[in-house]
RNA sequence: GUCCCCGUAGUUCAGCUGGAUAGAACAAUCGCCUCCUAAGCGAUAGGUCGGCCGUUCAAAUCGGCCCGGGGACGCCA
């Protein structure tokens, strides 16, 4: 089943093409900008009239005549307005028919894509040397929402958690670990706070020359795969992964061990990458380092800007690892798209790596490499985010705080619920609020970190959507005898009822758009409008007191809305609640 | 110096393949619980869409210049 927008674009596009004597036309159908303008509007007539140098209203009239002779059930009437808009009023019976088919088969809320693809999504990718902080939230949840959306559309998704588990900083940490583990076999207590552990190691590295030497030699030992050092490194990585997994569990992020794509796993492939680039005569030695120079990239003073593939000391950098990963994703995973959900500050890096990959053939000709960037988290002063003492806030602290505040609120609103029930509700609401606060913003803009807006439970927030859902479920419980799926939508009497009906048919339009340009905030916006439409319907269209056919129809519409909210929220990675 | 992003209501943000009178939320003021969960609904107020010029029937949206903020730019990731 096509979306309303697709059907209308086809219908009006054909009529426009016939009227204009062209082979095909873009009718440019969008949802109507105001209720008075119908359900949808076609804006394409004016552009075509311009090309043909005819009066737009006259062309619109031709199109309208054409449409009116055409056999179709979807549209009640077309109206020409303004400089040449065609306003489209849909037929209630057709809206009801579509909604009922969705009620019968909820999968139709979002039909599968026509041609399934293999899509690699690289996201979250924390540095295992440290603990995850609030800055890791965006990439993790935006990536997770995209992954859910691609899968919902029937694509094969390969998650890749490209964790940072290799490099010089691990030498420092292992030197610290070694000192501690020689004394007792068990994992040192100091590791329970990774952040403190890192800071202590860094501090010693900077102040104690003997320790710094030991750290450097640890790096060498690691690179030569010394058994003792590798064992300690693995122990550290394991411990750090537990920290991440605890957060993924709280966030209900769908990443697990199988999705790991650790940097270290490419170590053995890197010499081969260098050889391959050399064989294509792309490498130049510059100040002792092996570099690829591309003419389109220039740096300071208009100097040519290198992509450094191998450092002067022979070791590799993240560009090299990323190239190795592109090779894997191209030729072994055979991906159609490889998506990197990564901070915008790495955009130059990705431009360079993608360019080198394409030029060298490390990327297949079939793969689409896409940096899905997101903005930086800022403090209230508009500067990159830090606490007053200059530190970052741990992600786990934000999540725990949110759940705690939610618990206080639930207890306040519904003291009659049992304590364990209130805790379960608070856990879901607290996490949902934090995720939604972030997902609902356009990913490309920088955003201000602010406890109160992150932890808000009113207005355009996750609790609003969850509340709408819980209200519907409560109604359905109260009207159980007629709320089962035998009953369908049969009539629309009030405007609020019709708005809600049309809204319910549009989830698929949003999801398809997001699959292309990866802006999950559009789904948040849609769901907020859907929930708002329901709230207004709820105020004006009582079900308890309604006569039987209307009552059944309204309950069915409510049931569809609940299904829609649940599916939509699930695609954002937010779980619904039966009551709150 | 070069390149990238951003500047919309008091605040936080939508809207940007050009489309009709620029939308929410929060904060403010005022209404609505004898009625399916008031985490809600309604109303009022709040704007030279940073500035100027241009393209167009039509510009918050496209182009140019300027101002202001952020970021990236050789051996960290």
Q: Report the complex ipTM.
A: 0.96
Mean pLDDT of the A326-351 span: 96
Asked if A154 and A227 sit in the same domain, the reply is no
Residues 433-472 (A) near nucleic chain B, CB < 7 A: 440-442, 444-448, 450, 453, 456-461, 463-464, 467, 470-471
By C1' distance from the Cα of A348, the closest nucleotide is B72
Average pLDDT over residues A557-569: 97
Q: Are residues A185 and A270 in the same domain?
A: no
Task: Please state the separation of Cα A422 from the chain's center in Å.
Answer: 29
- Residue nearest B37 (alpha carbon to C1'): A471
- Measured to protein CB atoms, the chain B nucleotides within 7 Å are 1-2, 4-6, 12-17, 19-20, 24-27, 35-42, 57-58, 69-77
A304 touches strand B (CB under 7 A): yes
DSSP reduced 3-state for A78: strand
Q: In whole angstroms, give the CA distance from residue A454 to residue A500.
A: 29
Residue A548's pLDDT is what? 84
Judged by C1' against the alpha carbon of A475, the nearest nucleotide is: B36
Whole-model pTM above 0.90?
yes
Q: Find the Å distance, CA of residue A171 to C1' of nucleotide B17.
A: 50
- Any idea of the CA torsion for A130, A134, A137, A138, to the nearest 10 degrees? -120
A window 529-568: Cβ near strand B (< 7 A):
532, 535-536, 538-539, 541-545
Q: Please check whether residues A81 and A134 belong to one and the same domain.
A: no
pLDDT at A1: 73
Over range A245-265, report the average pLDDT: 97
Mean pLDDT of chain A: 92
Residues A462/A435, Cβ–Cβ less than 8 Å: yes
Through-space separation of residue A448 CA and nucleotide B10 C1' in angstroms: 17
Q: Are residues A306 and A181 in the same domain?
A: no
Alpha carbon of residue A350 to chain centroid: 19
Nearest nucleotide (C1') to alpha carbon of A32: B20
* CA→C1' distance for A56 and B58 (Å): 13
- What mean pLDDT do residues A379-401 have? 78
Identify the residue with better confidence: A450 or A116: A116
Residue A298 CA and nucleotide B73 C1' are separated, in Å, by 8
For residue A492, being part of any structural domain is answered with: no
Residue A63 domain flag: yes
Average pLDDT over residues A113-119: 96
Angle between helices A521-540 and A507-517 (to 10 degrees): 170
Considering the domain architecture, whether residues A270 and A157 belong to the same structural domain is answered as yes
| Cβ count within 10 A of residue A410 | 22
Tell the burial category of A448 from Cβ atoms under 10 Å away from its Cβ (0-12, 13-18, 19+).
middle
Kindly determine whether the C-beta of residue A579 is less than 7 Å away from any atom of nucleic acid strand B: yes
CB–CB of A128/A165 below 8 Å?
yes
Composition of chain A by helix, strand, coil, percent to 5: 60, 15, 30
Reading across the β-sheet that carries A283-286, which strands appear in turn?
A: A283-286, A289-298, A304-310
Confirm whether A491 is domain-assigned: no
Concatenated DSSP letters for A255-292? Answer: --GGGB--GGGGGGGHHHHHHHHHHTT-EEEETTEEEE
Q: Whats the size of chain A, residue-wise?
A: 580
Q: CA of A122 vs C1' of B63, distance in Å?
A: 36
Among the residue ranges A112-121, A281-290, A444-453, the one predicted with the least confidence is A444-453
- The per-residue DSSP string of A108-176 comes to GGSPPPSS--EEEEE----BTTS--BGGGHHHHHHHHHHHHHHHHTT-EEEEEB--B--SHHHHHHHHH
Of A213, A230, A253, which residue constitutes the final position of a domain? A253
Q: What's the CA gap between A499 and A510, in Å, rounded?
A: 17
Distance A70 CA to B38 C1' (A): 50
Same domain for A21 and A79, yes or no, is yes
Instruction: State mean pLDDT over A422-441.
Output: 96
Q: What is the pLDDT of residue A301?
A: 76
Residue that the structure tokens 């290198």 belong to: A306
Provide the domain count of chain A: 3
Two tokens, residue A38: 């119908």
- Residue where one domain finishes, among candidates A351, A377, A403: A377
The CATH number for A81's domain is 3.30.1360.70
| A:501-530 Cβ neighbours of strand B under 7 Å | 519, 521-522, 525, 528
Measured from Cα to the C1' atom, the residue closest to B24 is: A460
The answer as to whether A48 is a domain residue is: yes
Evaluate the CA torsion angle A25, A26, A31, A36 in order and state its sign. negative
Shared domain check, A187 and A151: no
Give the distance, in angstroms, between residue A29 CA and nucleotide B17 C1': 13
Kind and range of the H or E run holding A298: strand A289-298
Is the CB of residue A429 inside 7 Å of nucleic acid strand B? Answer: yes
Q: Quick one: average pLDDT of A200-211?
A: 88
Q: Report the distance separating Cα A473 and Cα A487, nearest Å.
A: 16
**A410 CB closer than 7 A to any strand B atom:** yes
User: How does strand A40-42 pair with strand A29-31?
Assistant: antiparallel
Q: Report if residue A353 sits inside a domain.
A: yes
**Residue tagged 């990323």 (tokens):** A322
Q: For strands A337-343 and A368-374, give the pairing.
A: parallel
Segment A491-516 mean pLDDT: 95
A:88-117 Cβ neighbours of strand B under 7 Å: none
| A79: nearest nucleotide, CA–C1' criterion | B20
Phi, psi angles (nearest 5°) of residue A268: -75, -15
Residue A502 lies in a domain: no
Q: Tell me, what CATH number does A146's domain have?
A: 3.40.50.620
A118-122 and A156-160 strand pairing:
parallel
Question: What pLDDT score does A422 carry?
Answer: 96
Residue-wise pLDDT tens digits, A352-373: 999 999 999 999 999 999 999 9
Q: What are phi and psi of A437, to 5 degrees?
A: -55, -35
Closest nt to residue A522, judged CA to C1': B14
| A47 CB neighbours strand B below 7 A | yes
- Residue A306 and residue A196 share a domain: no
**Residues A10 and A54 both lie in one domain:** yes
- According to DSSP, the residues that pair with A307 across neighbouring strands are A292
Q: What is the mean pLDDT of residues A259-268?
A: 96
CA of A526 to C1' of B60 (A): 21
Residues A138 and A273 in one domain: yes
- A372 CA to B61 C1', in Å? 22
Contact A66, A22 (CB under 8 A): no
Domain co-membership, A198 together with A322: no
Do A278 and A333 belong to one domain? yes
What is the model's pLDDT at position A193? Answer: 82
Place A181 in a pLDDT band, splitting at 50, 70 and 90.
Answer: low
What's the rounded Cα separation, in Å, for the pair A205 and A440? Answer: 41
Rounded distance in angstroms from the CA atom of residue A257 to the C1' atom of nucleotide B44:
55
Give the SS3 label for residue A215: helix
Give the per-residue pLDDT at A385.
72
And the tokens for A20?
Answer: 């204009």
Q: What is the pLDDT of residue A77?
A: 95
Domain containing residue A343 = 118-163+263-377
Per-residue flag: A495 CB under 7 A of strand B: no
Residues in A 48-77 whose C-beta is less than 7 A from nucleic strand B are: 50, 56
Taking the C1' atom of every nucleotide in all shown strands and the CA of A315, the nearest one is B75
Output the distance from A359 CA to B11 C1' rounded to whole Å: 48
- Out of A54, A75, A90, a domain closes at A90
């Amino acid at each position: 089943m096509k979306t309303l927008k697709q059907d209308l674009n086809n219908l009006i596009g054909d009529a426009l093409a016939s009227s204009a004597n062209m082979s095909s036309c873009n009718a440019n159908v969008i949802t109507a900008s105001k209720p008075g303008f119908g359900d949808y509007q076609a804006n394409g007539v004016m552009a075509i009239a311009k090309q043909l140098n005819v009066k737009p209203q006259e062309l619109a009239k031709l199109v309208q005549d054409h449409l009116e002779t055409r056999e179709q059930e979807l549209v009640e009437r077309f109206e020409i307005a303004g400089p040449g808009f065609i306003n489209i009023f849909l037929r209630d019976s057709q809206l009801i028919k579509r909604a009922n088919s969705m009620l019968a088969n909820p999968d139709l809320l979002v039909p599968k894509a026509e041609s399934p693809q293999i899509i690699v999504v690289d996201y979250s990718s924390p540095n295992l040397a440290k603990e995850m902080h609030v800055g890791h939230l965006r990439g993790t949840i935006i990536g997770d929402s995209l992954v859910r959306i691609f899968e919902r559309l029937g694509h094969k998704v390969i998650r890749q958690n490209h964790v940072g588990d290799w490099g010089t900083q691990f030498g420092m940490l292992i030197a610290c670990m070694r000192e501690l583990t020689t004394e007792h076999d068990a994992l040192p207590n100091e590791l329970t706070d990774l952040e403190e552990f890192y800071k202590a190691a860094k501090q010693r590295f900077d102040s104690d020359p003997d320790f710094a030497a030991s750290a450097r030699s640890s790096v060498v030992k690691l690179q030569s795969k010394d058994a003792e050092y590798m064992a300690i490194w693995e122990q550290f990585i394991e411990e750090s992964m537990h920290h991440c997994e605890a957060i993924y569990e709280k966030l209900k992020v769908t990443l697990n061990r199988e999705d790991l794509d650790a940097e270290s796993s490419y170590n053995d492939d890197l010499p081969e990458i260098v050889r391959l680039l050399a064989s294509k005569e792309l490498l130049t030695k510059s100040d002792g380092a092996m570099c690829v120079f591309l003419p389109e990239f220039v740096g300071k003073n208009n100097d040519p800007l290198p992509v450094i593939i191998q450092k002067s000391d022979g070791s590799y950098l993240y560009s090299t690892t990323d190239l190795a990963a592109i090779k894997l994703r191209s030729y072994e995973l055979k991906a159609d798209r490889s998506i990197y959900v990564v901070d915008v500050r790495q955009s130059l890096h990705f431009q360079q790596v993608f360019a080198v990959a394409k030029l060298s053939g490390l990327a297949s000709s079939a793969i689409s490499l896409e940096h899905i960037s997101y903005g930086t988290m800022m403090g209230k002063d508009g500067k990159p985010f830090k606490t007053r003492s200059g530190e970052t806030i741990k992600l786990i602290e934000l999540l725990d705080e949110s759940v705690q505040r939610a618990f206080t609120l639930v207890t306040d609103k519904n003291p009659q619920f049992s304590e364990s029930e209130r805790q379960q509700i608070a856990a879901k609401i607290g996490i949902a609020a934090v995720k939604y606060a972030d997902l609902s913003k356009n990913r490309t803009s920088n955003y201000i970190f602010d406890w109160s807006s992150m932890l808000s439970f009113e207005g355009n927030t996750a609790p609003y959507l969850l509340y709408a859902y819980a209200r519907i479920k409560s109604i359905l419980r109260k009207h159980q005898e007629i709320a089962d799926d035998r009953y369908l939508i049969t009539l629309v009497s009030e405007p609020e009822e019709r708005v809600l009906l049309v809204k319910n048919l549009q989830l698929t339009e949003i999801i398809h758009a997001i699959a292309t340009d990866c802006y999950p905030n559009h789904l948040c916006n849609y769901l907020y409008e859907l929930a708002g439409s329901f709230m207004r319907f709820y105020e004006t269209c009582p079900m308890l007191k309604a006569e039987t056919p209307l009552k059944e129809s309204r309950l069915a519409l409510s049931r569809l809305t609940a299904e829609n909210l649940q599916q939509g929220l699930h695609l954002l990675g937010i779980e619904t609640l039966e009551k709150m």
